[in-house]
A and B are shown apart, each in its own frame.
Chain A
């Protein structure tokens, strides 16, 4: 990599690391696993910089999602979430928004990597089914079925008062 390309790449990393770490954290639920994922994606991008400098962000994000799915750091794919105290279960009236979100978060982290990637792409990146399919390298039908399975699982994992509205 020549000096100009190196400078460009360094600028890209400085500009985009925060956004990439956010996506990776949403995927893994763990800071260290997120850093690993982003480092790996950026290192691969660095090696192919001359070929991807037209749209490096798309390339890096594609690697990020696909590495996550392929279980590149499988041992960290289901991290524990450190908390100061064990959260109380949600009340039966389902009005405790904080607890609901904690439970939904735990349920999200229980999803298999591909389903979590679909949810993150849909709800964090606001991608359409077609775009999700392009990024993950699969068909739109697969994306739809993965999303449907993910939501079905969330229905099972999150208590009834939360999911009543989903039916």
Chain B
């Protein structure tokens, strides 16, 4: 690239930059930071909630007490001993 073009391109980019108008962005920056923080917070909350549900729901499903008595083997229900073992 020649020096002429280099200068032309540099001038054009500088002109483009110089067209910007100064503005106080601080109030908008604060508002946007609050919004970003809120979105991040909501994201963390959703992730925590999902993790909790993923752990708790299967636990409750497996360990839920159905109100049935514990399973025991009564002596009267024992299988008879085979004849050849007497």
**Which residues does A use to contact B, with CB under 8 Å?**
10, 13-14, 17-18, 21-26, 29, 31, 34-35, 38-40, 42-44, 46-47, 100-101, 104-105, 108, 119-120, 123-124, 151, 154, 162-163, 165-166
Contacts and interface: CB of A to CB of B under 8 A. Distances in A.
B53 interface: no
B4 interface: yes
Contacts of A165: 2, 4-5
Interface in B8-63: 8-26, 28-30, 32-33, 35-37
Interface residues of B, number: 31
Nearest to B40: A47
Given A25-B17, A26-B17, 7 more contacts: A26-B13, A35-B23, A39-B25, A43-B35, A104-B8, A105-B16, A108-B12
Interface of B: 1-2, 4-5, 8-26, 28-30, 32-33, 35-37
B1 A21 contact: no
DSSP class of A's interface residues: helix, strand, loop or mixed?
helix
Contacts of A101: 8, 11-12, 15
Contact of B17 (A23, A100, A154, A166): A23
